[in-house]
Every structure is written in structure tokens, then in C-alpha cells.
Structure 1
Amino acid sequence: MSFPKPPLHVVIAAPRGFCAGVDRAIKIVEVALDRYGPPVYVRHEIVHNRFVVDRLRGMGAVFVEELDDVPDGRPVIFSAHGVPKVVPAAAQARGLEYVDATCPLVSKVHRQAQRLVEAGKHILFIGHAGHPEVIGTFGQVPEGGMTLVETVEDAERIEVSNEENLSFLTQTTLSVDDTAEIVGTLQRRFPSIRAPRGEDICYATSNRQAAVKGIAARCERMLVIGAPNSSNSLRLAEVAERLGTPSRLIQRATDIDWDWLGTPATVGVTAGASAPELLVREVMGALSERFEVTEEEEAHVNEDMVFKLPRELVA
């Protein structure tokens, strides 16, 4: 005897999933594989998503952590998160052909950092220690040119030698609310601190967080599809939690904790900027096996950003 499935209304946030920088980085690997033939080497995960990385690995991409792991004569791609200056310099010294897949919005932060240091400014960089984007940005300027600020507590405690000579920049994938609080603290303590010309937190990160805020109050649970090392995905789960909606970060449908999910009336679903829409549909399929699902997409803004491929791949 089969029992009827309980009803479940799923509210899917939009925008979600791939951003323009991630889409560009993945295409760079695909085009490079087509142009050079496998294997093509990629320094660090091209984007923080295991499904994406495994698919590209199956096409012939080889992911390594250091340039030393790339054999002579094979092309290498630098990940979307950006790399320190010494990495392309080392590739050139070895005569390696390389393609830089750094997101253009991260590259913009790199250029700002270089200009500020050249102008004699000391940079307070808001970000997460150890994240590849932070490592890459610090690697654009001489040692000592930047100081990392991770929390409001850091912003309250930090001591500087010249308060009139400060500027700040931020990682592109941070919590909008946390960053605003840290910036407010820095501006209170150092009124003359120079802000970046434009918002460093990227449009995709801001839009995805705003979309979660738009649906969280209606949902009893929130499923965020993304990798545990994906900064922007982690922030989406935090945003929902802070609004009182229990949230879980999952990589695939198989990661759903059904006991934790229970039998809610309404569940929210979103995906970090490195997660493909295919995984959203996979999660919806898993929910449909256990529930009588009705599906609603709630759009926050429409995204139409597209980044061009590097010239060396389209020439």
C-alpha cells in the first residue's frame, strides 16, 4: 500500500548558480582543451565545485596545486580566483604557455591594489585568510603593503603607523552585511581611510545574497547548493541562518539530510556562483521523490553580464 506524498512548496531563488566569471573560467578550460588537446593543466581548482572539476577532469584537464607539477611543453590555466604575480612570471621563465582565467572583477581588485601601493597607500584588505583570492591579491603587491582584516574585532584592534595613509579593499565573495560592518568600523576609527572607487564585492555575490534574503522569511528550511570551500556559497547559508531560517550547504542531492529537513511546508533552494543549474534540478528531483512538490522561482534581479574570453583563445 502506497501512502500519498506530503506536499512541499519549493521557492527557488533567482539569480543563483553560475556567474559570468565562473562561466568564463569553465569555457576557458573547454576551449583550451579543444585548441591544445589534452592534457591541459589547471593550477588550483578552476572554480570551487567538485562536480565541475570532475567533469573537466574527465575531458582531459589535470588539476595541480603548484606550477612545478606542470610538465614542460604543456599549457597551464590559472584559476578564476587569481594568482600572485610570481606565478605567471615563473611560467614565463619556464617557457610555459599559460592562460589566465582570473575573474575580471578579481583582476580589477588586483589593479586597484597595485595602484594604491604605488601611490604610497597601505591597504587594509577585508577577506578570509587562506582563500585563494586573498592569496592572489596579496601577491600583487610587495610584502607588507597590505594587512588582512577578517572580522569587526580585527578592525577594532588593528594598529597602523600612519592613519592618513590608509585605504581598504575587499575580497569579492564576502557577506555584504559583515563587510559593511567591518568597513563602518574602519571608517569610524580612521576617518580619512580611502575607499575603493566602486564596490569590490561582486555583483553576483551581492545579488545571490539579496535573493536569499527575499525568500528566507517564507521558508522553514533553506538548501544551498555549493562546495564547502566556496566562499560565496557559505555566505548564502549564513545569510539564511541569520534571518532565522535553518540552512544547510550541500554539494549534491545525495547530501540532503532528510531527518534534518523533516516535513516542512516550504523549502528554499539556491546555488552558489560555482554550482551549475544541473545540480539544482538534481536536488529538485530528489525532493520530488519524497514530496508532492510545487515549484516557484522568485526573481530578485535579472543578470546579463558576460565576460569575453582571453584574446589568445579567440585569435
Structure 2
Amino acid sequence: MNAPFPHGKPPLRLLIAAPRGFCAGVDRAIEIVERAIDRYGAPVYVRHEIVHNRFVVDGLKAKGAIFVEELDEVPDGVPVIFSAHGVPKAVPAAASARGLEWLDATCPLVSKVHRQAERQIEAGRHILFIGHDGHPEVIGTFGQVPDGTMTLIETVEDVAALELPEGTPLAFLSQTTLSVDDTAAIIAAIQAKFPQVTAPKAEDICYATSNRQAAVKAIAPQCQLMLVIGAPNSSNSLRLAEVAERLGTRAFLIQRASEIEPEWLEGVDTLGLTAGASAPETLVREVVARLGEWRELSEEQVVTAEERMVFKLPRQLA
């Protein structure tokens, strides 16, 4: 009797999402650190993880970057870089007051939200900001405007519970890395409760977040399992796993291939694979190689969008 799998390994159809992995804002942030090290020499200090990915951060540490949580950990006379998530206005102001040379690696799409927040406050509106409490991007955006001029909204229930003085002029903005579907539901609740609320001119959720979620939606219904490469503190990566689970597909968020358990593949003949916006392609290939140790793979790229976005570097490094 012939063995069911003559090569010894059962087949696995592997659907790889495209787009996936690095976005233009992450590419730019990493290049800023690398160029700063080339220009100024090591060490170069970075306030907060430049992007939420341990592999990327460790690679930059090896080149001469030192990561700190607060500005007072940066010694005098060395350059400091602010992360892609953005920082409160007080941080570059404090760096300038100390005479530090600083470089801003804030994603331009996050900076766009910062400018919108300033404009809405100048127009006399109170801002309802949709985001996750404690996320660096939320902290940075709140730090652009005076205390008390913005209210954080995390859920539809938060909208229902919100009480504001009658006739308060309102606007809403959002974090760039949220669930597209959840945010749409929260916006609908805001607009239903406050019909006069001012909306942003364009979607705040960034193109990369939207595209990666759309790619998962295209793949997940065909899979029994979805693997998302990303850090547990990466908002956009967490959302990708959530999107798959909501479509009825088991999903695991992993940082490296070594985290994959062989038993996850039991009963799986089609597996989806994607990577959050801070995860490099090297880690995707690492996961594919790991899966190939257990299964005979047939790889398919599922392309749902083309991304050609490129952002300029700060003028000091251009």
C-alpha cells in the first residue's frame, strides 16, 4: 500500500498576503537611524523603540543605536531621534532647550493627524480622539494640544457614555493603526450622537493599515490558520490577527518562526501568512522556511493592492 505522502511531508497551501510588512513610514524611520549613525557616528540615541519590532530594534542596536524611554536618559552632546509613533511637543522643546541635535522620525501620516489636531483646537473645537489608551501615537497626539481639549474614545460604549456641555463644538480624529471596521462603527456612533461633529478631510487610518487588513480579509476565509508576524505591542499587527479571527479563522501573532508550534498545523491544509507594518521581509522568509521543515509547501502571493508610497527624509539627512 502506498504511503499517503510519498515524500514524507504532507502538502500545505501557503497564501502570503501582499501588501505586508514594512510601510513607507517604517522604512523612513529605520533609514533615519541608519543615516544618523553614518553621519554622526555611534552612539546615536533613540527615544522609545523606533518601530515596534524587536528584530529591527536589535539590528539597529548592533549598528550603534541606543534606545531609551525618556529624554533625560540621553547624555549631552549626542544626537537623539524621536520614534515613528510621534512625541508630545514638549519633547523636542526640551531637547532644544538642552542644546541637543534632534531628528524627528515621526511618520508623516501621524504628523498629519498632529496638524489636524492643532487646527481643530485653533478653530475652537473639542476633539474626540479614537485610539488605544497608552499607545505612543495617542500620547504623542494628545501632547500636541492643551490638556483637556481632547477626549479619548476607545469603544462605541465610550461614545454612549460621553457627556459634554450642550452646544460644544466637536471634531473627531483617530490613531492611524486601528481596525478599519471598529473605527467605522465608532465614527458612526459619534456622528449619530453629535450630528454637527466635524470630520477629518481624509481618513486618518493610514493606507498601510487599511491595505494590510484588506489583504487579510481576502485570504482568511480560504484558510484554517492565519499567522501574523508582528510584536505584541504593535497596534497594526494585533489588528491583523483580530481581522482574521472575526472571519472565523484561527490566528496567532508571532514575533519569530521559533514560536510556531507544530500542533498548530494539525488539520490545516491552507495557511495564511502576513506581517505587520514594522516586520521585515526577512522574518516572513524565516517563517516560510520553518513551515517547509514540516510540510511540502506551495506558495501563492495574494495581491490586493500595490504600494508605491515614499516619504522624504529630514532635511539634516537628505
Alignment TM-score > 0.5, same fold: yes
Query: Partner of 1:312: helix, strand, or coil?
Result: coil
Aligned ranges 1:67-146 → 2 under 5 Å: 67-146=71-150
Deviation at 1:257, TM superposition (A): 2.2
Deviation at 1:70, TM superposition (A): 0.3
The match for 1:308 is 312
1:231 to 219, 229, 235: 235
Matched, 1:59 2:36: no
Deviation at 1:164, TM superposition (A): 4.7
Query: Partner of 2:291: helix, strand, or coil?
Result: helix
2:204 to 190, 200, 224: 200
Check conservation: 1:78, 1:99, Cα contact below 8 A: yes
d(CA) in 2 for partners of 1:313 and 1:115? 29
Aligned ranges 1:143-182 → 2 under 5 Å: 143-182=147-186
1:189 to 167, 182, 193: 193
In structure 2, give the amino acid aligned to 1:258.
P
Under a length normalisation based on structure 2, what TM-score does the superposition of the two structures give?
A: 0.97
Check conservation: 1:163, 1:192, Cα contact below 8 A: no
Check conservation: 2:71, 2:91, Cα contact below 8 A: yes
d(CA) in 2 for partners of 1:142 and 1:174? 24
d(CA) in 2 for partners of 1:286 and 1:260? 13
1:272 to 272, 276, 295: 276
The Cα offsets for residues 232-258 of structure 1, whole Å up to 9 and x where unpaired, read as 000000000000000000000011122
Deviation at 1:262, TM superposition (A): 1.9
d(CA) in 1 for partners of 2:175 and 2:311? 19
d(CA) in 2 for partners of 1:77 and 1:182? 34
In structure 2, give the amino acid aligned to 1:146.
M
Deviation at 1:153, TM superposition (A): 0.6
d(CA) in 2 for partners of 1:154 and 1:185? 10
Q: 1:108 to 1:36 in 2, by over 3 A?
A: same
Check conservation: 1:76, 1:97, Cα contact below 8 A: yes
Q: State the identity %.
A: 71
d(CA) in 1 for partners of 2:93 and 2:262? 49
In structure 1, give the amino acid aligned to 2:115.
R
Check conservation: 1:24, 1:308, Cα contact below 8 A: yes
In structure 2, give the amino acid aligned to 1:131.
H
Structure 2 gaps of 5+ residues are 1-5
Check conservation: 1:81, 1:102, Cα contact below 8 A: yes
Deviation at 1:259, TM superposition (A): 1.8
2:12 to 5, 8, 12: 8
CA RMSD of aligned residues (A): 1.1
d(CA) in 2 for partners of 1:52 and 1:261? 28
The Cα offsets for residues 117-152 of structure 1, whole Å up to 9 and x where unpaired, read as 011000000000000000000000000010000011
Matched, 1:209 2:191: no
Query: Partner of 1:267: helix, strand, or coil?
Result: strand
Matched, 1:20 2:30: no
Structure 1 gaps of 5+ residues are none
Check conservation: 1:39, 1:62, Cα contact below 8 A: yes
d(CA) in 2 for partners of 1:258 and 1:95? 54
d(CA) in 2 for partners of 1:86 and 1:47? 21
In structure 1, give the amino acid aligned to 2:142.
F
Matched, 1:292 2:296: yes
In structure 2, give the amino acid aligned to 1:216.
A
Check conservation: 2:231, 2:253, Cα contact below 8 A: yes
Query: Partner of 2:300: helix, strand, or coil?
Result: strand
Q: 1:84 to 1:162 in 2, by over 3 A?
A: farther
Check conservation: 1:164, 1:192, Cα contact below 8 A: no
Deviation at 1:210, TM superposition (A): 0.3
Mean CA deviation greater in 251-260 or 77-86: 251-260
d(CA) in 2 for partners of 1:77 and 1:120? 32
Query: Partner of 1:200: helix, strand, or coil?
Result: coil
d(CA) in 2 for partners of 1:156 and 1:262? 43
d(CA) in 2 for partners of 1:239 and 1:100? 32
Query: Partner of 2:272: helix, strand, or coil?
Result: strand
Mean CA deviation greater in 262-271 or 293-302: 262-271
d(CA) in 1 for partners of 2:202 and 2:315? 26
In structure 1, give the amino acid aligned to 2:12.
L
1:31 to 32, 35, 50: 35
